[in-house]
Chain A
Amino acid sequence: MSYSKPIFKKKYDNFINGKFAPPVSGDYFENNSPIDNSLIAKYPRSQKEDVNNAVAAANAAKDAWGNTSATEKAALLNKVATIIEENLEEFALVETCDNGKPIRETLNADIPLAIDHWRYFAAVIRAEEGSATELDANTVSLNIKEPLGVIGQIIPWNFPLLMLSWKLPPALAAGNCVILKPAEQTPATATLLMEKIADVFPPGVLNIIHGFGPEAGKPLASHPNVDKVAFTGETTTGQLIMQYASKNLNPVTMELGGKSPNIFFNSVMDADDAFLDKAIEGAVLFAFNQGEVCTCPSRLLVQEDIYDAFMERVIARTKAIIQASPYESSTMLGAQASNDQYEKILSYIKIGKEEGAKVLTGGKACSLNGDLANGFYIEPTILEGHNKMRVFQEEIFGPVLAVCKFKDEAEALEIANDTAYGLGAGVWTRDAHQLYQIPRAIKAGRVWVNCYHAYPAHAPFGGYKKSGFGRENHLMMMNHYRQTKNMLISYDKNKLGFF
């Protein structure tokens, strides 16, 4: 099936205090589609004044929203989920146009997962409870969860609506008001969502500010009337946001990427069966979402005695990837999200070759015809080398796989953990001992075992090491958006006797 570019208005606005609001400065920026570099629409180039307005609206709304019952909040979160579901194809098409990812992914992964995250947190707040402890016969300790107040959220461009749906539902469900800044490359689905749900929440509860990091992101991250900032992005901005938070003595959560190892032990080739087929696909998942995933399995570690046979099949499967218009439902690999990403990926392939990595397949830009010639396409690429190379250590954020061999379990772990990051990892084996012991020894927040790239709600997701902290997609995220009110109650009629 073939889709085409959706229709957009000429320009869009911020969403502040329940209404669409033009930027105070009157300035807009042009947002282009990476599919063919054509103009999508103009979006607000917000400044500090716009952020101040949104923060003021959120602060005005926080007491009422913070005291709204779980029943009511859950009903509104479910309403958002239903609205996205009823417009699934429209959201998918706008996302594909804005980000460049294939329509089959937005239809089957991005948007359905986003819907489920809204429903999950609606369910969580209906089922959870605080705690009460009788400390002694006359003393009871009550723990009541209270919202922090106003939350600033800054999200990336790789899964625009899905990252929004990882961030907003737990913060709102916990009773906070939110100001969210989408990435400037991908403002479209956040805006579409506000158009569809403009009347769902009371004014000020949910605010969307568009604009550039230094102009709109920084005032949001450093605002004294924001009680917590949640950020997904890279390490330098992560450090900056933590510095700003230190001035306000605020908590933060950070998801900062990785260089995830995907480890294949020799037992995967014990039989040529459905599991081996699954394992080969698991290795090729580096190309999922054009490699623009913070957990991209971008380091492939294969046990040496199966290396040649295994890689032969991985290369064949990689070569079979269909790279064409993201609007075609048969397309598996679309466009990189922007020109600067495209250039960065090519510069990494170049230094990889200079460092001595061998190109097993791909290794260059992909030229497509017609309007697509203006888009940003890169061939799925496999580089064979060793773990000290920069292509093994830095997150390229493209469809580029760095592969090396290992001898035994010890060497596999040494290579897997030789990285500054610790977000994701994959372990593939038929050995029941390895299934448990290897994941336990990998220093990463998420280890997929005999699978990869699954992100269901209720499986906590977050980083070790320089990949950040905080656990999203799970009810434990609620506590990153709340504080505990302890009520210590005495039922003793008698005085202490001190005075």
Chain B
Amino acid sequence: MTPEELGEITAKQEESERQFKHRLHVCTAAGCLSSGSDKVKAALEKEVKDRGLEHQCKVKGVGCMGLCANGPLVADKPSNVMYQNVTEDDAADIVKSLDTEPVARLECPTEMPFFRRQVKIVLENCGRVDPEQIEDYIAASGYEALVKALTEYSPGEVVEQVLRSGLRGRGGAGYPTGLKWGTVAKTDADKKYVVCNADEGDPGAFMDRSVLESDPHRVLEGMAIAGYAVDATQGYIYVRAEYPLAIKNLKTAIRQAEKLGLLGNNIFGTTHSFHIELRLGAGAFVCGEETALIASIEGKRGTPRPRPPFPAAEGLWGYPTLINNVETFANIPPILRNGGDWFARIGTEKSKGTKVFALAGRVLNTGLIEVPMGITLREIIFDIGGGVPDGRNFKAVQTGGPSGGCIPAEFLDMPVDYESLKKLGSIMGSGGMIVMDDTSCMVDVAKYFMEFCMSESCGKCVPCRVGTYQMHELLEKITAGKASAKDVLVLEELCDLVMNTSLCGLGQSSPNPVLSTLRYFRNEYLAHVDEKKCPSGVCQIHSGEEVTA
């Protein structure tokens, strides 16, 4: 494969797309698939064939279009008419209307803020390219960044571009990606590895899954560039076994890229070689922690170990290892294509670029969104998300999953960036954003997350193994209306202890949901303790003789 051949593929692909007057894009990512989009696609294909329109209209499976709540989604290109809640029975009407007025009853208003307010970098190809066709990705400037990196830049210059972009790790902690790359690049070793963390374990988060299902080549390209920058020839993607479609699309993508010589030995005739293999997770949240993830790739139980040494110095099988999250790698191709300075112009001073969020819970427009850093929570929830349905009142928004916190209404105008969210007692996290209304009890929510951390604790260190259990017991007691004021104090002490003495991030951040709800919703805790009442009516508190403990 040469850069010229890449151009030829693009030209050919564009030519073949142009032959069709209409291209019907059907979302075949997991969200819409669960609502039956495979049947819709088959019905549309049949309808097109029955009407003899095969040469004018192409039915194409694409990735996530974002508005998962209203799936299955179908879009007509180039007219950009979008249909929602489509069923098999609608296929005839859609195909019939192609050259006339759109089918009004199915139309999805693409003018609404949900679509208009987003800025797409990571998701630029989602809903546009067919994830199972490498030519489609190439036609969308795919692998251009890899050509540029390999033929125009030295490895050091690639690291320099990433540094300039100001990109920070999208897995949650927000460590500057360029610095991490620089550290691994400078380490001298016979062998180095690049690992993509696709063990998206936060409940309520599906950003990485959507990227892997909708645009797998972008992640492969980002990893291959990273391999060149840090001088690694082998990459691993550690992906959740619970994501069968992402695994299938990744496998296809790797095979196609190898066939075209975009992965493998001597890419584009250079001396750079890079191979990627998949490793399946097996349902352990702690494996999102980098040292636990490494242990799991090595075929062991996923327990973390103390750092330092950091994986950048001693990682997989003892060799220097670069570990980044899916979304981080997905940002790399556009950064290389457009330059680090371009990326640094988007977002805030310390948080550059965009962030993908999985917006869910008590919000009208649930789905996948990408917004510039610095946007306010209010804009996300009320403009893009369309607010809280059923005339209910907004109570809190939870970010960062079990490691994050609940943010109340008074801080809705805070900008979304790493530092602001941390100041509020939450974290950016990987991108789960769950909206809660007045039907949710905040003590119950804290208990829910603590139950999660308790059962996901790997058991290696005592503070996490025993502390999360005890905190959960106390929260059980509070929600059952059997706790005293002293129990709340003990709970706070335990939070402090577990936070400061646990071995890894899972334990250290497990008190966050409790601390943030105690901070903003203390009155709810007090209602359970003093009045033996759950203000939201969620907790089953039995009055009478039981309330004596």
**Does B bind A?**
no
A: residues with CB less than 8 A from B are none
